[in-house]
Structure 1
């Protein structure tokens, strides 16, 4: 940690001096109820690991802390944490004076003031907290309606939640448009991508409008890589070809399993939501297979558990073709399709183009029927 630089201005007629404001990346804050000497850790996202890494420390004295850090060439997602206290405070490192009013019992509620980067972050975090508050309150009411078997009220609350989510998507785009040159725009795009509300191509277009400086940040590079991976399996893209082992040890390719409509179904014997959904898929397959529907199941079962995979196929009556490398989340096909959660489905047209994904139950059947007709 380098010392604060103090600039002195000497007058010709008086031996006086004036301390100027600190320049660059300077962090100060306050926190009540914490003992003197408590360590304060400053972390930021590492370019090598893409995870938070401690870059410096200071200590609490008389309920306050401060530290002068090396000037940043570019902003970065940063964190403050305290010895013996769970959680952290998110802020954006920038070459400004940043002040943190930390609350020991609720670090996430702490107040941050700083330059344009942290003003934009405050705007975004305020929006997220309000959306979370509305959804949490709504789900509590939904639970009550469910317990009371009030289906009409339950459906109304479901519609209200969807409206909140739709408004959230619009609000995020507005905040993004207002902060095209701010680091928070990268955070917004990351959230949009994870929520799967906006098509990948639309997020790619929004990313392309950001400044080159933002694209060169650690998060900017990571987002670009993620968009490129997801872009290969986005709706409208040609489904990547693959070959994988079947239960009898032979190799089966996607092209060999194609029908007029094809579903690639990522699942596993250990995945309860997958097993719950399987009867719906069986019903759809039985109803539309003769009309041209084919399914290829890709299992993410664990190494050495082929018996459980085969048992689940038999128990659930999965009569379509199945493949698996039995490599759990490291399955090459799952990695190729950027699978992070299952069940996951991709619906392909007769040309192998991905036309929809992750549909369940009646929605899946309706989409299959529409494509076959």
Structure 2
């Protein structure tokens, strides 16, 4: 079964509140429970980590929290487990203020109190849990199909059809959650799930329009609006938005510099393995069509601190075409202008500046360019 691999670009939701603190107070019923808890979360795209000692079953974590964001909390006991088990961990949402965690037997089954965001997340999970269990059953069925079965492909396809139908049912559950919870921060997360990694603009815009003004006008709501607007601007048939970004030497390069050519604008990053895997195919297409009015413009979303890694990746992958960097991809650069939510993402633009194809992969890159140039000439 084919797996679509993607790297998500969008940051976890952030809702600015200057100089505010989060406080997490935890309590295990077992007062003899000792060890440490480790909390990881993201603020402004940067991963942060806090920890606290669990003494007599009690722990407390706190720190600056200018935002609402998701976190991962894990308990590690002082004594190592005698057999391999899954981590004792829980996903929670952090926000300015205090939340309480009450754990009966383990952290993974704990109850979170004092947070509307976590209440909404629990409600969504309760709706989704039966569907996730059904998905796991289909995955087990798929894995159990004998590899040498004479009707292997037919059996695999039958399970894939069921999984596809389930995906549509889950999408409907998510859509209904957003419509029923227009004032919930969780609805922004759900819209991303419904719209998919490359953000289906039509689905995303419809659901976003139904959110409350409070959520729409939050910093993350505004970020999503910018993303949706960018997707609308870059629909097939529209004129490509004109960007300007610095190249490897710091010189500002404009999209209009390539007027009169077919140009593939390719968003990538040095740390993005699926992006790097596509580079040999891009190189093959570039070498084949570069003398026929075709070029490529790479735009990396590497942060400035990753500049050396970016330059090394260009050299290692042997990419001779123009390379630009958009170190502020989450704010106001070319990636935001084009509504890029996941990488790799690319846009094929004709000599007149009109978008004629999006997100070409594998053999489709060469085939599409070949077909277009054939029609042209």
Same fold? TM cut 0.5: yes
In structure 1, C-alpha distance between the alignment counterparts of 2:37 and 2:316, rounded to whole Å: 53
Q: TM-score, normalised by structure 1?
A: 0.60
The answer to whether structure 1 residue 151 and structure 2 residue 153 are counterparts is yes
CA root-mean-square deviation: 5.5
Equivalent residue, structure 2, for 1:209? 210
Match of 2:166 among 164, 167, 177: 164
Equivalent residue, structure 1, for 2:125? 125
Q: CA offsets, 1:121-173, max 9 Å, x none?
A: 22212344445444455445545559548333334434443333333222211
Alpha-carbon offset, residue 303 of structure 1: 2.3
In structure 2, C-alpha distance between the alignment counterparts of 1:145 and 1:35, rounded to whole Å: 46
Equivalent residue, structure 2, for 1:330? 327
Alpha-carbon offset, residue 77 of structure 1: 5.5
Gaps of 5+ in 2: 1-22, 78-87
Higher RCO (CA-CA < 8 Å; seq separation 6+):
2
Secondary structure of the equivalent of 2:241?
coil
Normalized per residue, the structure richer in strand is: 2
Equivalent residue, structure 1, for 2:264? 263
Alpha-carbon offset, residue 257 of structure 1: 2.7
Alpha-carbon offset, residue 360 of structure 1: 1.5
Alpha-carbon offset, residue 174 of structure 1: 0.9
Secondary structure of the equivalent of 1:195?
coil
Gaps of 5+ in 1: 1-25, 70-74
Alpha-carbon offset, residue 323 of structure 1: 1.4
Q: CA offsets, 1:282-331, max 9 Å, x none?
A: 676688778x8734141649528757635633xxxx7xx71125x6x738
In structure 2, C-alpha distance between the alignment counterparts of 1:102 and 1:125, rounded to whole Å: 20
Q: CA offsets, 1:210-250, max 9 Å, x none?
A: 2233345xxx3223224415633554263332355489x98
Alignment of 1:1-373 (within 5 A): 31-33=28-30, 35=32, 81=73, 84=76, 87-90=89-92, 100-104=102-106, 107-112=107-112, 118-143=118-143, 145=145, 147-148=147-148, 150-192=152-194, 195-199=197-201, 202-215=203-216, 220-229=218-227, 231-232=229-230, 234=232, 235-236=234-235, 238-242=240-244, 244-245=246-247, 253-258=254-259, 262-267=263-268, 273-274=274-275, 276-278=277-279, 280-281=281-282, 294-298=294-298, 300=300, 303=308, 309-310=314-315, 312-313=317-318, 322-325=321-324, 330=327, 336-338=334-336, 342-349=343-350, 351-354=352-355, 356-361=357-362, 364=365
Alpha-carbon offset, residue 88 of structure 1: 3.8
Equivalent residue, structure 2, for 1:17? none
Which is higher, the Rg of structure 1 or of structure 2?
Answer: 1
In structure 2, C-alpha distance between the alignment counterparts of 1:93 and 1:250, rounded to whole Å: 41
Q: TM-score, normalised by structure 2?
A: 0.59
In structure 1, C-alpha distance between the alignment counterparts of 2:229 and 2:163, rounded to whole Å: 28
**Equivalent residues, number:** 325
